[in-house]
């Protein structure tokens, strides 16, 4: 039940191609990450919608293989 | 999601002005993210109902479907989904959370 940092980055990039993504492995256990995602696609969207876009790009892995990913979105 | 779970969620968010679907209880949170949101509400002195999803497997899965949100905790204010831990934390820090409570006439700590 762990995911590689590169795998998370690749999935977000696939869903939001223009995104600038910074990911940190918070605990060094491959299971608790923090991501800052900057994309023009967030423009005009609520925070909930922005986070949903990131979750959607992770294709259901969030809450399953991926236990903890703190998300911060920026336009 | 079965009808019973859907009714349960609807009842909770209708009958409680501030609802926190969480892992554990406000007094004994079972996850750091649930604890974080719970603590922010306590600091703001907001009266909220904590609903422990660990006691009910169909609720634990159902609330994710209901809110179209894959993680727990989840906070509802007057029936409206506000967000999960990251969003609430951001709103707490920039003062927006307080603004919501003020706008919705919910008792909270004044400055």
Domains (range + CATH), chain B: 3-103 (3.40.30.10)
Average pLDDT over residues B40-45: 97
Structural contact between residues A32 and A67, judged by C-beta atoms closer than 8 angstroms: yes
CATH of the domain at A54: 3.30.300.90
- A58: nearest CA in chain B? B70
**What local confidence, expressed as pLDDT, does residue A2 receive?**
72
Could you tell me which of B69, B60, B47 has the C-alpha nearest to residue B9?
Answer: B60
pLDDT exceeds 80 at position B111: no
Could you tell me which of A18, A25, A27, A34 has the C-alpha nearest to residue A4?
Answer: A25
Average pLDDT over residues B85-101: 96
A51 touches chain B (CB under 8 A): yes
Chain B positions touching A63 (Cβ under 8 A) are: 64, 70-71
pTM: 0.91
- Put simply, the answer to whether A52 touches B69 (Cβ < 8 Å) is yes
**Partner residue facing B70 (CB), from A48, A55, A72:** A55
Q: What confidence tens digit (pLDDT) does each residue in A49-71 have?
A: 999 999 999 998 888 888 789 99
Give chain A's domain count. Answer: 1
* Average pLDDT of chain B to the nearest whole number: 96
B68 touches chain A (CB under 8 A): yes
**What local confidence, expressed as pLDDT, does residue A32 receive?**
87
Enter the tokens of residue B89: 């934390």
Range of the domain at A41: 5-74
């Amino acid at each position: 039940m762990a995911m590689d940092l590169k795998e998370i980055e690749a999935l977000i990039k696939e869903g939001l191609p223009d995104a600038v993504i910074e990911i940190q492995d918070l605990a060094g256990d491959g299971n608790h990450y923090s991501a800052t995602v900057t994309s023009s696609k967030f423009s005009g969207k609520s925070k909930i919608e922005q986070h949903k876009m990131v979750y959607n790009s992770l294709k259901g892995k969030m809450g399953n293989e991926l236990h903890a990913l703190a998300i911060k979105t920026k336009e | 999601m079965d009808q019973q779970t859907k009714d349960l969620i609807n009842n909770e968010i209708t009958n409680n002005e501030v609802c926190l679907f969480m892992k554990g209880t406000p007094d004994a949170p079972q996850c750091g993210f649930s604890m974080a949101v719970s603590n922010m509400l306590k600091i703001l002195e907001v009266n909220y109902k904590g609903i422990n999803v660990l006691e009910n497997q169909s609720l634990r899965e159902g609330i994710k479907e209901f809110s179209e949100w894959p993680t727990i905790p989840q906070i509802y204010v007057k029936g409206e989904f506000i967000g999960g831990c990251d969003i609430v934390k951001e709103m707490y820090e920039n003062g927006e959370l307080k603004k919501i409570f003020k706008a919705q006439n919910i008792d909270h700590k004044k400055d």
